[in-house]
Amino acid sequence: MTTRHPRLAFACTIVGAWLLALTVRLYGLQVLDHDRYAERAVDQQQAVVELSAPRGTIRDARGRELAVSLEVDSIYADPRELRAKEGDPEEVAEALADILELSKKARADLAERLASKRRFTWVARKADPPKAAAVMAAKLPGIHRVAESRRYYPLRSLGAQVLGFVGIDDVGLSGIEAMYDKVIRSRPGRRVVVSDGRAGRVQHPRLGFTAAHSGSDLTLTLDVAIQHALESELAKAVEHTDAKRATGVVLDPHTGAVIAMAGVPTFDPNRFQDYPEKQWRNPVIADAFEPGSTFKLITLAAALERGVTSLDQVWDCEMGVLRLQGVPIRDHKPFGMLTSREVLANSSNVGAMKLGQAAGPEAFYGAMRAFGIGRPTGVDLPGENAGLLRPIDQWRALTPAYMSFGQGLSTTTLQMAVVFAVVANGGFTVRPHVVAATDGVSVKVPRGIRVLRDETVFKLRDALESVVVDGTATPAQVAGYRVGGKTGTAQKAIRGGYAASQFVASFVGMVPIDDPELVIAVVVDEPWPLYHGSQAAAPAFAEIARAALLYRGVTPNRERPEVWPGQQIDTAHYDDAESIAPALASLQRAQVAWEPRSEPRPTPPGTVPDLAALNKRDAVRAATGMGLDLRLYGSGYVERQVPDAGTPLDLAGPTLELWFGPRRPTAVSREGP
């Protein structure tokens, strides 16, 4: 056969060789190189899209939503599919840029990515719903969408510095969102999508799919209504005093729960990128300052605890000037003999220094450490500043003298609130916290330790009330409630010295003083010309305290009708966030009934007249002839005057300052650093 049919043999040989080669090739493709080609096929046909689930919801103490996650569309592109459908990358990029309002640089970057050989690229993460709908309506080749979760803060700037915000990948970047990120953050899922023969998208149930899981919910100690009152009054304080900024905190002194916390100016976490980064931080815990006279509470506490003074012991305050090693320690006005109670009430630096000397450096330093000065409070928020307290072995000769009235060390707004909370709760330290529960399970907070005896606590409360009733803090009075607190007016430490016209004004107080329910701290940075704590911070405290007490239903200490004539405000419930603003606005509009007058109220002969409720013309006429220089601020009726009505003219000083406005008159007193 071989000789008789050579052509047939040759053909069989060729076919056999071809089949052998094909078999070898198929073996190589399907066996030897299977994994490599399978991987290439997957790369060409499949894309993996990561799916995000909602972060946990953050709510206030009454269940109102502060941070939620909404489902929105993210837009992505498959550049290979775009070319398979004969799309022009530059034209598609231009169309997308017009809809999404991209910058010129972003347009060029998008066109470059659409022209690549990749199978997946993001076009717009978590796009605004109208823009995402417009993109899909354009039916551009290779353009698809996938549902993702987007963080939204329904109350916008309210509580923003406490809440913080998240980045595009749902990772917490500041505030609670960062501190509790592992708790709140969801576990992402994955979805595999493939291209069919017509380059269309297919999502098949047999393809890889991992479900995303939502994060845990948080319940905070914050109360939206009181937070709103705090932020509103801080903003007013900044505007009224032309200050640089203001901070404040409302604390439950018994549990350490932070009921409200804020700094002004603030930001909207929905658009955090539109604000300066310095406004993202929480200044209540991050910014340290010399506290000034609010620190005298610790000085008096140290002396009382050691038993070296009583509230009625008399101190010679040297008529306002005492020299130590040639350095003068000055008061804001001359004082002669003052009791310990009066030293605090009148904010005498000389008297405070003598109290500190009587306590001794070791007891004074021990008291500061016991109150938590120089170390973090442990609040569950990121970025807390520990403040500054030098060890006693690093003190110089005059260090304890300066520290006795709040210089030479630094604290934060929250630290000073915690100091006063110790007195308010009966002498125990507290751990401030802002998270009350996770998924409904209460968060355990460490118990405090006793640092003051009951006897000392009662004496300190007595002294703090005298500050508000008879001393430098009369504007902190809240009609119907007994208040205790302390003002502070500290010169700012700058480049090794103290600024002549830059101050930090503060007031920290508790209410009601007989059974304190709230501790409120207000700090105003660089107010001018109303730079005293009694002028810049105490009035804000009074407004915040009034709103919070009425909202919480705290019974006044005396009858309310003289304070709220004909005014009946329902503060029992706020069903939703929209009802809060008008309710608080009505609280702020409620005022003591008073009539404008044309003549001053009578005061003893030889004293400053009471000019409250006089218009500018009548006030100037009444003050003429007293030998005082007049300084007038604002317009309307006299709201405040310095010196106070009834002050003897020989002690009043050369200047009478009058502030005019539309609101009810409130007395104001001077207070020194």
C-alpha to C-alpha distance for 581 and 223, rounded to whole angstroms: 13
Q: Would you call 613 helix, strand, or coil by DSSP? A: coil
CA angle 524, 530, 535 (to 5 degrees): 70
Distance from C-alpha of 467 to C-alpha of 149, rounded to nearest angstrom: 53
Which position among 293, 348, 506, 534 bears the catalytic label?
Answer: 293
| Collapsed DSSP state (helix, strand, coil) of residue 53 | coil
CA atoms within 13 A on the CB side of 562: 8
123 near 106, Cβ under 8 Å? no
Residue with tokens 């003219």: 649
Which distant-in-sequence residues (6+ apart) come within 8 Å of 162 by Cβ?
175, 176, 220, 222, 258, 261, 262, 282, 381, 434
Supply the Cα-derived Rg of the chain in whole angstroms.
Answer: 35
Annotate 175-195 with b (16+ C-beta within 10 A) or e (fewer).
bbbbbbbebbbbebeebbbbb
Q: Helix, strand, coil proportions of the chain in percent (round to 5)?
A: 35, 25, 40
CA-based torsion, 124, 125, 131, 134: positive or negative: positive
Task: Using DSSP bridges, classify how beta strands 218-220 and 58-59 pair: parallel, antiparallel or unpaired.
Answer: parallel
Closest to 97 in 3D by CA, of 115, 124, 64: 124
| Angle value at C-alpha 395, between 391 and 397, nearest 5 degrees | 160
Measure CA 338 to chain center: 39
* C-alpha angle 386-275-102 in degrees, rounded to nearest 5: 140
Q: What is the DSSP string of 240-294?
A: HHT-SEEEEEEE-TTT-BEEEEEEES---GGGGGGS-GGGTS-HHHH--B--GGG
58, 217 contact by CB (below 8 A): yes
293 is catalytic: yes
Name the residue among 431, 428, 432, 386 with its Cα closest to residue 409. 386
Q: Which residue has the tokens 């803060």?
A: 153
Q: Provide the strand spans (E) within 496-598.
A: 497-511, 518-525
What does the longest C-alpha to C-alpha distance in the chain come to?
Answer: 151
Q: Tell me the backbone φ, ψ of residue 469, rounded to 5 degrees.
A: -80, -45
Sign of CA dihedral 458, 461, 465, 471: positive
Cβ contact 512:525 at 8 Å = no
CB atoms within 10 A of CB 430: 26
For 255, the token pair is: 């549990």
What tokens were used for 477? 């009075």
Q: Which residues are catalytic?
A: 293
